[in-house]
């Protein structure tokens, strides 16, 4: 059994979803874009390939010798820390260039000073990205208090010096591409701080910022921040999207990857009968075309199948494989029904019978509904569950009560107690 790993793709050779043309398009768009800075937003839902697209783009930029920086904002909890860390990460990179060391170091000190002044409190705990050793921070602060720091009382001064340093680093036509991944994994305050510091401190530098984020999460974050201030304003003002619009000049929405593409990328990982069309149709209906969800499913399915075979003492037939796949989908996507099945394994058959009757004689739908046991009523209008279990001409069939019981035991052995494990397998 081969496991599918969930790491972002970094090499064009592994780009099974064919992101290459999008990378080329984005690359062409920012290669000569003026004026800078420019902020690109790469938007997509959970586990759909944002980090991978960024990594593939980074790969392309490196080939073209365009300097890049990768920044993980969620490593820094507190909001002052996160913008200081962003500055320090950029400065640490510039420091490596001959002739820029002094300037970068001076700016790094100034950034530290600014962040302390902005309310970080104890300087020693500041994450400086390695430019300034934490032991030196206190001495440095004392020195700065009388000297350079005065210059930086004006934030503009810092901004200008920073701009000049970046220009020296990349050249007058060059650009520094800063990837900011997983902004949505930060606390809402930190995410907003990153966005605001892009405007505030880096406002004139020759940088291209590439932000990858789940738009729904970030819209919620921004709305949260401004929610109170705008509580009587119209919806579009309150919307976080309106705020993001001001920051992101080039939005890119990650295109959906087709289920067929996912199937061909992952099929060889499925233990036995990887070419079973009904199996894949079941997954399409049950899980949709989300790459991460599908990968996790394939891993868990393979393991559950192995455990089932060990428990039964023999390999299982096709009907069992399909029913086990359906049960795993139920467990991850229809958890309430899974709990009900665990308590009463006959519910599978009862619900399927109801769905089928309603499909056959829709005119009697009210009657069928009345005959459905109360605990199954909440599932009567669940179309995805119906599409999964009572699929016309579908091969899943109804497992016997015994099979449901033994499959539930298998699934629990594979994925742990129901309440402990994550909802998405």
The H-or-E segment that residue 53 falls in is: helix 50-63
User: Is residue 347 at the binding interface for Mg ion, with CB under 5 A as the rule?
Assistant: no
Contact segment (CB under 6 A) with ligand ATP among 45-53, 235-243, 326-334, 342-350 equals: 45-53
Cβ–Cβ under 8 Å, residues 287 and 46: no
Beta strands in 281-411 (DSSP E): none
As a whole number of angstroms, the distance between CA 37 and CA 354 comes to 60
Region near Mg ion per CB under 5 A, out of 48-56, 135-143, 327-335, 410-418:
48-56
Q: How far is the CB of 69 from ligand ATP (least distance, A)?
A: 18
Q: Two tokens at 232?
A: 């009587």
Tell me the per-residue interface mask from 249 to 288 with ligand ATP, x by CB under 6 A, - otherwise.
----------------x-----------------------
Ramachandran category for residue 171: left, alpha or beta (phi over 0 → left; psi -120 to 50 → alpha): left
Q: Give the rounded distance of the alpha carbon of 120 from its chain centre.
A: 29
**Selection from 232, 183, 190 nearest residue 83 by Cα:** 190
Candidates 41, 49, 129, 188; binder of ligand ATP (CB under 6 A) is: 49
Structure tokens at 134: 């934490």
Backbone torsion region of residue 192, taken as left when φ is above 0, otherwise alpha when ψ lies between -120 and 50, otherwise beta: alpha
* Interface with ligand ATP, residue 46, by CB under 6 A: yes
Our CB check for ligand ATP shows the closer of 16 and 220 to be: 16
Q: Which is nearer to ligand ATP, 195 or 390 (by Cβ)?
A: 195
* Residue number with CB closer to ligand ATP (15 or 386): 15
**Can you tell me which residue has the tokens 């036509």?**
173
Beta carbon nearer to ligand ATP, 74 or 391: 74
Q: Which residues pair with 43 in a beta bridge?
A: 213, 253
Among residues 295, 321, 333, 368, which is the contact residue for ligand ATP, using CB under 6 A? 295
Subset of residues 158 to 197 that bind ligand ATP, contact rule: CB under 6 A: 182
Q: Give yes or no for residue 58 binding ligand ATP (CB under 6 A).
A: no
Region binding ligand ATP by CB under 6 A among candidate stretches 10-18, 164-172, 197-205, 319-327: 10-18
Smallest distance from Mg ion to CB 46, Å: 9
Beta strand pairing call for 250-253 and 38-43: parallel
Q: Is 397 in the site for ligand ATP (CB under 6 A)?
A: no
Other CB atoms closer than 10 Å to residue 367's CB: what's the count?
11
Q: Is the peptide bond before 35 cis (omega within 30 degrees of 0)?
A: yes
Q: Which listed residue (41, 50, 201, 238) binds ligand ATP by CB under 6 A?
A: 50
Query: Is residue 51 at the binding interface for Mg ion, with CB under 5 A as the rule?
Result: yes
Interacting span for ligand ATP (CB under 6 A) from 47-55, 297-305, 338-346, 376-384: 47-55
Neighbours of 418 (CB within 10 A): 14
Provide the minimum distance between the beta carbon of 294 and ligand ATP in the complex, in angstroms, as a whole number: 9
How many residues contact ligand ATP, by CB under 6 A? 23
Window 201-230: contact mask with ligand ATP (x via CB under 6 A):
-------------x----------------
Separation between Cα atoms, residue 207 and residue 222, nearest integer Å: 23
The minimum distance between CB 11 and ligand ATP, in angstroms, equals: 10
**CB 73 to Mg ion: min, Å:** 12
Nearer Cβ to ligand ATP (86/257): 257
DSSP track, 143-191: HHHHTGGGGGGSHHHHHHHHHHHHHHHH-SS--EEEEE--GGGS-HHHH
Q: Considering beta carbons, is residue 50 or 368 the nearer one to Mg ion? A: 50
How far, in Å, CA of 151 to CA of 124, rounded?
23
Q: Which two tokens stand for residue 360?
A: 């056959």
The verdict on 291 binding ligand ATP (CB under 6 A) reads yes
Measure the CA–CA gap between 241 and 155, rounded to whole angstroms: 28
> Residue 289 Cβ, how far from ligand ATP at the closest point, in Å?
11
Distances in Å between the alpha carbon of 277 and those of 4, 267, 273, 283, 306? 20, 11, 9, 10, 21
Q: Does 48 bind Mg ion (CB under 5 A)?
A: no
Binding site for Mg ion (CB under 5 A): 50-51
Q: Which residues bind ligand ATP (CB under 6 A)?
A: 6-9, 14-17, 19, 44, 46-52, 182, 214, 265, 291-292, 295
């Amino acid at each position: 059994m081969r496991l599918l790993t969930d790491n972002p793709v970094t090499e064009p050779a592994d780009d099974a979803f064919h992101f290459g043309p999008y990378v080329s398009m984005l690359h062409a768009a920012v290669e000569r874009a003026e004026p800078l800075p420019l902020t690109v937003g790469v938007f997509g839902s959970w586990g759909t390939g944002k980090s991978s697209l960024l990594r593939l783009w980074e790969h392309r930029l490196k080939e073209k010798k365009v300097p890049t920086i990768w920044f993980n904002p969620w490593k820094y909890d507190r909001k002052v820390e996160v913008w200081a860390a962003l500055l320090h990460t950029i400065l640490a990179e510039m420091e490596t260039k001959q002739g820029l060391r002094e300037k970068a170091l001076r700016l790094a000190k100034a950034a530290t000073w600014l962040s302390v002044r902005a309310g970080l409190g104890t300087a020693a705990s500041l994450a400086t990205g390695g430019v300034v050793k934490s032991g030196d921070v206190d001495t440095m602060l004392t020195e700065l208090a009388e000297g350079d720091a005065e210059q930086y009382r004006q934030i503009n001064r810092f901004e200008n010096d920073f701009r000049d340093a970046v220009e020296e680093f990349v050249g007058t036509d060059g650009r520094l591409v800063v990837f900011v991944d997983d902004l949505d994994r930060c606390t809402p305050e930190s995410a907003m701080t990153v966005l605001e510091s892009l405007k505030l401190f880096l406002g004139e530098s020759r940088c291209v910022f590439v932000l990858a984020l789940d738009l729904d999460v970030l819209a919620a974050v921004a709305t949260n921040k401004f929610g109170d201030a705008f509580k009587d304003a119209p919806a579009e003002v309150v919307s976080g999207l309106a705020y993001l619009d001001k920051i992101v000049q080039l939005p890119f929405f990650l295109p959906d990857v087709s289920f067929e593409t996912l199937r061909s990328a992952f099929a060889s990982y499925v233990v036995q009968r990887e070419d079973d069309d009904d199996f894949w149709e079941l997954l399409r209906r049950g899980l949709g075309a989300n790459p991460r969800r599908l990968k996790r499913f394939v891993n868990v399915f393979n393991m559950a199948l192995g455990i089932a075979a060990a428990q039964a003492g023999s390999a299982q037939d096709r009907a069992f494989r399909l029913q086990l796949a359906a049960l795993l989908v139920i467990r991850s996507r229809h958890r309430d029904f899974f709990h009900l099945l665990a308590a009463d394994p006959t519910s599978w058959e009862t619900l399927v019978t109801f769905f089928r009757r309603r499909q056959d004689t829709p005119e009697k739908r009210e009657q069928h509904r009345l005959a459905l046991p109360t605990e199954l009523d909440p599932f009567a209008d669940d179309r995805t569950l119906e599409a999964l279990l009572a699929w016309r001409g579908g091969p899943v069939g109804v497992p016997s009560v015994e099979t449901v019981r033994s499959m539930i035991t298998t699934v629990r052995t594979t994925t742990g107690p129901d309440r402990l494990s994550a909802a998405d397998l």
